[in-house]
Amino acid sequence: MTTSPRRGARPGLRFLMSHPAHFVALGFGAGLSPWGPGSLGTLVAFPLHAMLKPALPGWSYLGALAGFFLAGVALCARTGHDLGVEDHPGMVWDEIVAFLAVLAFTPPGLGWQLGAFALFRYFDIAKPGPVRWAERRFRGGLGVMIDDAVAAFLALLCLTLIKLGLDNYGGM
């Protein structure tokens, strides 16, 4: 039996530990933060990336990300249902998985990674055109996961354009 908080209330430690789906969807506890749970959840991707990237070379890493995304659809659907809010701000698995994808394609170096973080958070928070469209178009667990995937794509597009510009015009 799941211990649910009031509909729309912030979940607590008891809810986090009441089901494995909640533990993962709430970012191993990062989503319990009252301040910027999405940003804190995004930061969880850094140590996960550092552990997974060497262990899963090449396409294996991307395959794991696809699995994380698909699992996230079910995990977030269950947790959203139990919370009574389809896309509760405490559910941060979507940010973690999307930012892992961004990190997979980010050039090496702390500057690039911080820039990737800033771009991803911008697109996830501001929800310009395509991100807002995805958020409104899809429901349930897929809806939770897909808008962050679109934000990740836009962040990577910007990073690519910046890298190309620097490479072509005497930067890095």
Question: Is the pLDDT reported for residue 7 higher than 90?
Answer: no
Per-domain residue ranges for the chain?
A: 13-168
Question: Amino acid identity of 135?
Answer: E
Per-residue model confidence as pLDDT tens digits over 72-130: 999 999 999 999 999 999 999 999 999 999 999 999 999 999 999 999 999 999 999 99
Q: CA 83, CA 9: separation in Å to the nearest integer?
A: 8
Task: Find where tokens 């979940």 sit.
Answer: 11
* Range 127-134 average pLDDT: 95
- The structure tokens 């929800």 sit at 127
The predicted-structure confidence for 8-27, as pLDDT tens digits, reads as follows 678 999 999 999 999 999 99
- Say how far residue 84 (Cα) sits from the centre of its chain: 21
List all residues 6 or more positions away from 8 whose beta carbon is below 8 Å from its beta carbon: 83, 84, 85, 88
87-116 burial: b if 16+ Cβ within 10 Å, else e = bbebbbbbbbbbbbbbbbebeeeeebbebb
From the list 107, 89, 99, the residue with the least C-alpha distance to 163 is 107
